[in-house]
Amino acid sequence: MTVVGRTWRWVREQLAFLIVLAGLAAGFCYLVAEPDHPVRGTLAISVVALGAAVLRLVLPGAAVGMLAVRGRWIDTACFLVFGGLILATDIRLRH
């Protein structure tokens, strides 16, 4: 198999992880670019974390790539807690 073939296979295997990583990077970049408006950045990060929980819960083990660290339920719970805490921070920043 060629290097390009292995690369595309890796990308397919890690697609869910790469989507989450890109979303988190976009949220953090927004926080850096617009420091006076942190609400949108934290909202984006919390939505991505909650989306990661959904992806980890519904996708089979072979399709989640590096999102799978522990068991399915532990990973889902960790992403939900992380996303929930960021969302609570976002709500708190609005007031």
Instruction: Kindly give the residue spans of alpha helices, DSSP state H, lying in 34-71.
Output: 38-58
pTM of the model: 0.87
Give the count of domains, the chain.
1
Q: pLDDT in tens for each of the 95 residues of the chain?
A: 688 888 999 998 899 999 999 999 999 999 999 988 888 889 999 999 999 999 999 998 888 889 998 999 999 999 999 999 999 988 887 77
* Residue 52: per-residue pLDDT: 96
Q: Which domain holds residue 32?
A: 3-94
3-state helix, strand, coil in the chain (%, to 5): 85, 0, 15
